Amino acid sequence: MEMNNYLDLLNNKMGNLPEGYKKEILKDYENHFQKGLLVGKTENNIACELGEVDLIAKNIVAEYYIEHS
């Protein structure tokens, strides 16, 4: 999966979390892609290493609500 598709999907899957919070998360994931590209990995390889977007988003949302409850 290409970086932009991965990040867009992650953004959508995080749902109604505050935009500032989502931007921080997306920036972190974008940094993972950038670092991987610098060492010669493909965007698809990096996406596979990061894992399934659905699971990542569920964990992010759960963590947010645990921290802010």
Full residue range of the structural domain in which residue 25 is found: 3-67
* pLDDT, averaged across the chain: 97
Average pLDDT over residues 58-64: 97
Distance CA(45)–CA(51), nearest Å, equals: 10
- What is the helix, strand, coil percentage profile of the chain, to 5? 80, 0, 20
Q: What is the mean predicted confidence (pLDDT) over 39-58?
A: 98
Is 17 within 8 Å of 57 (Cβ atoms)? no
Does residue 40 contact residue 55 with C-beta atoms inside 8 Å?
no
In the chain, how many domains are there?
1
